[in-house]
Amino acid sequence: MDFTFTEAQQAVSSLAAKIFRDRATPERVAEVEGSADRVDRDLWSALAAAGLLGIAVPEALGGAGLGLTELCLLLEQQGRRVAPIPLLWSSLAAMAIAACGGPAAERLPGMVEGRTILTCALAEPGAGDPERPSLEAVPDADAGWRLHGERICVPYAQVADAVLSPARVRGSDALVLVLIDPASAGTTQHRAEATDRQLLTHVALDGTRVDPTGVVAGPDRGAEAVRWVHQRALVGLAALQLGVAEEALALAAAYTSARYQFGKPLSSFQSTSARAADAYIDTQAMSVTLWQAAWRLDHGADAGTAVDVAKWWAAEAGQRVVHSTQHLHGGLGADVSYPVHRYFLAGKQLEDTLGGGSAHLARIAGVLAAR
């Protein structure tokens, strides 16, 4: 396959790279990590002003009308700077709302302009499958729903205006996809800190009402919509991980070339160059599997196995790369205030988000065994 990007895609990537490089400096990221909500609102506003927040939102709703591939190009640049913004989750929720249609689409112009922040609650307890949610939905008056259960590890819920979540219709296998107001009655929140220092929220729902305007997909097409969201979430995570790995490797290359031992740069030693070469090969495998999955989803092709392969490489190879790059920095890599350590933390968090490598390898094995 030829994964050469179009001129428009290259322009998107270049613009995103400049904004992230200029605004998400290591000093700025560290500053945001010490803030109350740990979100870089200045960077968020800059992306909105550049028209990038709505990259995958239809033009009729104020967006650029592009697709998942273009969003992944943005996410790759975000990963390179480990920028603390809800780009994946807000964009994914907006894409799902636009794809399903309905009154919830009224929220999208605000999201494109940076005034509205959306997020997604896809994680399940233990090794749970996001496509088999534990949250229960009970039919309510006027085509609404009442939600009972819990959503765990919701990213950026502390700043979100609405949370996109799947739920299982009580007493059946049917699913719905709904928008939850985090401040609505019956909803309580408990915050926790993730491995990469971002805030995650556990949300308990006790009869929380979702009115008809918050129903993104009803029981007739809920399962299809949930799978649609899940697949794109996995590909988006793989794009973030690719950016993390690429930049971590670039930092290691610069450090080992400038650091001398026995009168020679560290990069000239065989053990150093061999480990860096292995990390480079891993990033290339991550790249090709990511873009294959994104291309298949954008073109309506069957992408089930391709998505799991991309996420497996992101998990397995991603953690190898961040381990290697930290080790190549020697003792400096153990300094939690040094930038490369932040890439290590991000790589570990992304490795396990929505399932680690073993979980996706098992899914791939199940598909192959069924053939």
Say if CB 290 and CB 297 are below 8 A apart. no
Say if CB 278 and CB 323 are below 8 A apart. no
> Average pLDDT, stretch 59-67?
96
Tokens of 162: 């609405």
Question: Where are the domains positioned within the chain?
Answer: 7-116, 120-220, 224-370
pLDDT in tens, 152-191: 999 999 999 999 999 999 999 999 999 999 999 999 999 9
How far CA 102 is from CA of 64, 213, 221, 222, 365, in Å, comes to 20, 8, 13, 14, 37
Instruction: Give the whole-angstrom CA distance, residue 371 versus residue 368.
Output: 5
Task: Assign domain 7-116 to a CATH class.
Answer: mainly alpha
**pLDDT at 348 > cutoff 90:** yes
Instruction: Give the model's pLDDT for residue 1.
Output: 61
pLDDT range class, residue 334, cuts 50, 70, 90: confident
Instruction: Give the model's pLDDT for residue 316.
Output: 97
Phi/psi region, residue 316 (left: phi>0; alpha: psi -120 to 50; beta: rest), is alpha
Does this chain's domain 7-116 share its CATH topology with 120-220? no
Instruction: Give the model's pLDDT for residue 127.
Output: 74
Instruction: Give the model's pLDDT for residue 215.
Output: 97
Instruction: Give the model's pLDDT for residue 183.
Output: 93
> Average pLDDT, stretch 240-258?
95
Instruction: Give the whole-angstrom CA distance, residue 79 versus residue 93.
Output: 19
Strand partners, 208: 147
pLDDT range class, residue 115, cuts 50, 70, 90: very high
How far CA 286 is from CA of 91, 192, 328, 339, in Å, comes to 22, 30, 20, 22
Tokens of 342: 């932040």
pLDDT range class, residue 60, cuts 50, 70, 90: very high
Instruction: Give the whole-angstrom CA distance, residue 351 versus residue 71.
Output: 20
3-state SS string for 68-118:
HHHHHHHHHHHHHHCCCCCHHHHHHHHHHHHHHCCHHHHHHHHHHCCCCCE
3-state SS string for 267-296:
HHCHHHHHHHHHHHHHHHHHHHHHHHHHHH
> Residue 264 carries which side chain, given as an amino acid letter?
K
> Average pLDDT, stretch 69-82?
98
> Average pLDDT, stretch 243-257?
96
Instruction: Give the model's pLDDT for residue 233.
Output: 98
> Average pLDDT, stretch 114-130?
93
Instruction: Give the model's pLDDT for residue 128.
Output: 83
**In 3-state terms, what secondary structure has residue 37?**
coil
By the 10 Å C-beta count (0-12 exposed, 13-18 middle, 19+ buried), 269 is classed as middle
- The CATH code of the domain at 224-370 is 1.20.140.10
Instruction: Give the model's pLDDT for residue 29.
Output: 97
**DSSP alpha helix (H) spans, 24-67:** 26-33, 41-49
pLDDT range class, residue 143, cuts 50, 70, 90: confident
Percent of the chain clearing pLDDT 70 (strictly above): 99
Least confident stretch, 212-216, 223-227, 309-313, 328-332 = 328-332
**pLDDT at 3 > cutoff 90:** no
pLDDT range class, residue 20, cuts 50, 70, 90: very high
Instruction: Give the model's pLDDT for residue 370.
Output: 86
**pLDDT at 267 > cutoff 90:** no
> Average pLDDT, stretch 337-353?
95
How far CA 241 is from CA of 57, 319, 322, in Å, comes to 23, 9, 10
From the CA atom positions of the chain, what is the Rg in Å? 21
Q: Which fold has domain 120-220?
A: Butyryl-CoA Dehydrogenase, subunit A; domain 2 (2.40.110)
Instruction: Give the model's pLDDT for residue 140.
Output: 94
By the 10 Å C-beta count (0-12 exposed, 13-18 middle, 19+ buried), 220 is classed as exposed
Average pLDDT for the chain: 95
